[in-house]
Amino acid sequence: MLLRHTTENIMERSALTINPAKTCQPIGAMYAALGIHGCLPHSHGSQGCCAYHRSTLTRHYKEPISAATSSFTEGASVFGGQANMMQAINNIFTVYNPDIIAAHTTCLSETIGDDLKQIKKKAVKEGKIPEGKEFISASTPSYVGSHVTGFSNMVRSMAEMAEPTGHKNGKVNIIPGWVEPADMEELKRMASLIEVKNILFPDTSGVLNGPLSGEYKMFPEGGTTIEELKSTGDSIGTLALGEWCSADAARYLDSQHKVPCSILDMPFGLMATDRFIDALRTVAGTTVPEELAVERGQLVDMISDMHQYLYHKKVALVGDPDQLIAMTEFLVSIDMMPIHIVTGTPGKKFEKRIKEITKDLPCEVNVKAKGDMFLLHQWIKNEPVDLLIGNTYCKYIARDEDLPYVRWGFPILDRQGHQYFPTVGYKGGLRLLEKILNELLDRKDRDDPEERFELVL
């Protein structure tokens, strides 16, 4: 047993977190920054954070993740990291020459109170930022929220780049939230089918799913361009996908530049995708093409074809709030029963939203924000499930409890495909459903006695 010390008996804990269902802010900011074209993320703290965040993202994507750090020493930690940052800016532009540096902070620089906005002012004043180059920053204290908060903070800093010209650009801003490069591609594909001109930001497609060609490009072709980010203030509206990941930036554009926004769920599964498509159609005043209707119909078809294997199967879920809300709704919509749901990210709205979605289920539902995977495992021990959905760390629970398990979320360190095949939209819904069914049916094939082993399922 890999997690043999996890007991059925649940003891109240107020100080000890075990097997977290979250990580810290800066990695989210780093991921978001990689979605800007020509951008080098920068970690203003001691270098360990940057090494860890790069490593985790690299293990997840199997792609190079470039980011620089201020490399604080003990002296800088006491007297402030401004000098380190000024040197870093100079070295980065001289050696690596990005179009833009997107800096974030760590618990170190936040605790000592370094102010990146002020440091930028000084850098501009001293001519450290070359002509035509940009520097943005986000404050991302690791002791507040989670990696999702860090992502949101950096996305908001991107929105703060908006420079409205007074002339509308006829485009819709789409803030995709923390989804995979393939998901971002899929969102753009759906928007183009409905003929909605858009600015998607951040956009890691083409950055974190690149080819092997014998050439290494630190700044690949993909990413939202600086011009596009500046232009978001001229857009006709913003669709923000995910309250935790994207709403802050959207509301900023709304309140500062009167770009109206609509906060939607992330389009995982049938219903959330329906709402996304409907919103796109409405803002653009276009009709939804037959092609998308067919994709939707295919998803409904597969649900009906395989419903017998899904009906009332119990599921445990762990991950980030925006993704979990949409996934829970999808599972309920296909008559499965998500009964244990944990996120490590704080936020009161989460539990309320999950309770609403699951209120008609004929069973008790355990839900916790600021929970951890140790608690989730204990819940599973008390009330077993038929399926577990979550990131790679779930494999230890899956093995111990002998559970079918679908890898979904962040990070996935031990399987491929998540960067190439979308899980958003109807197409993504088909894939999610395929993954769920594969697990359930593999299990059936493994466990059925020989005399009942079936060729056709």
Partner 1 sequence: MVTASKEKLVQWDPTDVKEELLKKYPPKVARKRAKQILINEALENETPEIQANVRTIPGIITMRGCTYAGCKGVIMGPTRDIVNLVHGPIGCSFYAWLTRRNQTDAGPDGENYMTYCFSTDMQDSDIIFGGEKKLEKAIQEAYDLFHPKSIAVFATCPVGLIGDDIHTVTRNMKEKLGDCNVYAFSCEGYKGVSQSAGHHIANNQVFRHIVGENDEVKPGKYKINLLGEYNIGGDGFEIDRILKKCGITNIATFSGNSTYDQFASAHTADLNAVMCHRSINYVADMLETKYGIPWIKVNFIGANATAKSLRKIAQYFGHKALIEKVEKVIAEEMPEVEAIAKDVRTRTEGKTAMMFVGGSRAHHYQELFNEMGMKTISAGYEFAHRDDYEGRHVIPNLKVDADSRNIEEIEVEADETRYKPRKSAKQMKALEKTGFKFKDYEGLLPDMDQGTMVIDDLNQYEAEKLVEMMKPDIFCAGIKEKYSIQKLGVPMKQLHSYDSGGPYAGFKGAINFYKEIDRLVNSRVWSYMQAPWQKNPQLSASYNWE
- Bridge partners (DSSP) of residue 39 are 100
* 22 binds partner 1, rule: CB under 8 A: yes
Q: Residue 260, SS3?
A: coil
Closest distance to partner 1 from the beta carbon of 111 (Å): 4
Which pair of structure tokens corresponds to residue 259? 């770009």
Binding residue for partner 1, selected from 112, 236, 288, 361, defined by CB under 8 A: 112
Which pair of structure tokens corresponds to residue 88? 């870093």
Other CB atoms within 10 A of residue 415 CB: 9
Binding residue for partner 1, selected from 8, 73, 126, 311, defined by CB under 8 A: 73
Closest distance to partner 1 from the beta carbon of 36 (Å): 17
How far is Cα of residue 134 from the mean position of the Cα atoms in its chain? 25
Other CB atoms within 10 A of residue 413 CB: 15
Interface residues for partner 1 in 200-259 (CB under 8 A)?
210, 212-218
Alpha-carbon gap, residue 435 to 244, rounded angstroms: 26
Q: Which is nearer to partner 1, 177 or 220 (CB)?
A: 220
* 7 binds partner 1, rule: CB under 8 A: yes
Binding residue for partner 1, selected from 8, 91, 355, 417, defined by CB under 8 A: 91
Q: Which is nearer to partner 1, 23 or 153 (CB)?
A: 23
CB 323 within 8 A of CB 389: no
Alpha-carbon gap, residue 409 to 245, rounded angstroms: 14
Binding mask 364-403 for partner 1 (x = CB under 8 A): ----------x------------------x--x-------
Closest distance to partner 1 from the beta carbon of 138 (Å): 16
Interface residues for partner 1 in 149-168 (CB under 8 A)?
none
Which pair of structure tokens corresponds to residue 406? 């679908």
- DSSP code, position 87: H
Closest distance to partner 1 from the beta carbon of 67 (Å): 7
Closest distance to partner 1 from the beta carbon of 341 (Å): 19
Which run of H or E residues covers position 135?
A: strand 134-138
* 42 binds partner 1, rule: CB under 8 A: yes
Alpha-carbon gap, residue 312 to 331, rounded angstroms: 10
Binding residue for partner 1, selected from 116, 123, 129, 141, defined by CB under 8 A: 141
Closest distance to partner 1 from the beta carbon of 214 (Å): 4
